[in-house]
Structure 1
Amino acid sequence: MTYAVSGALQAAVFTALSDDTALTALVGGAIYDAVPAGGLPDLYVRLGSESVRDASDGSGAGAVHALTVSVITTNPGFASAKAVAVAVSDALHDADLPLSRGSLISLRFERAVAKRIDSASARQIDLQFRARVQDD
């Protein structure tokens, strides 16, 4: 197993989302790896949790990353959050992202969960993606 490609994968996902014109048209620069202190916009994207398991084989060290990207809003209803979630999914599903270390074999959307948070005053959609990486 290798966790060595984790940082490179996270950086590539962040760059892909930040460079996606459809997504930035909806949230501007409100795409965060770490949520900044202070006030937040009404609608934003946050890189979330990650779990990793071994996927090494005869060709070398590899891993499967289950990574979460969250869309969070205080806007009423789910419409704006779902529009952003679609843009996130479009930007990442089957994306061919260059990594600074290793290589991305595949990146696929797996599932999403939409829920009310903060005593139902806000909404959050967690999109989970599966990335297969190899440490070249």
Structure 2
Amino acid sequence: MSYGVSAALQAAIYQALFADVTLAGLVGTDIYDALPSGVVPSLYVALGPELAKDRSDKTGGGAEHEFTVSVVTDSSGFAVAKSAAAAVSDVLVNADLTLSRGSLVSLNFHRAKAVRVGAADERRIDLTFRARVQDD
């Protein structure tokens, strides 16, 4: 197994999300790997947990990365969050990302979960994707 492509995959995902005009129109530059300290924006995207599984074969090292991208808002209702979540999905599904190490074989949507957080109006949509990478 190779976990060596993980950082390159994360960087490429972040850059793709950050560069997308539609997503920028919704969340601006509020796309995070780690949330800033202090007050968080009313709508933002955060890269979340990752689970990697070995998918090596006789041609070389590879892995399947199941990762979460969350859309969080303090707006009541899910409409704003769902618009941003759709934009995230549009950017990532079947994306042709160039990695600084290894290569992306496929990137697909796996599932989403929309929830209310706490007693306030905060809403969160966790989008889970699966990326198959090869460590060239």
Q: TM tier, shorter chain?
A: over 0.9
TM-fit CA distance, 1:120: 4.5
Give the Cα separation in 1 of the matches to 2:59 and 2:26. Answer: 41
Which position in structure 1 is the counterpart of 2:67?
A: 67
Which position in structure 2 is the counterpart of 1:94?
A: 94
In the comparison of the two structures, how many residue pairs are matched? 136
Which position in structure 1 is the counterpart of 2:103?
A: 103
Structure 2 unmatched ranges of 5 or more: none
TM-fit CA distance, 1:58: 1.1
Matches within 5 A, 1:1-136: 1-136=1-136
**2:60 aligns to what SS in structure 1?**
coil
Counterpart amino acid of 2:32? Y
TM-fit CA distance, 1:119: 2.2
Give the share of equivalent positions with the same residue, in percent: 60
Give the Cα separation in 1 of the matches to 2:31 and 2:51. Answer: 21
Give the Cα separation in 1 of the matches to 2:80 and 2:16. Answer: 20
Question: Could you state the TM-score of these two structures normalised by the residue count of structure 1?
Answer: 0.98
Counterpart amino acid of 2:134? Q
- The CA RMSD over aligned residues, in Å, is 0.6
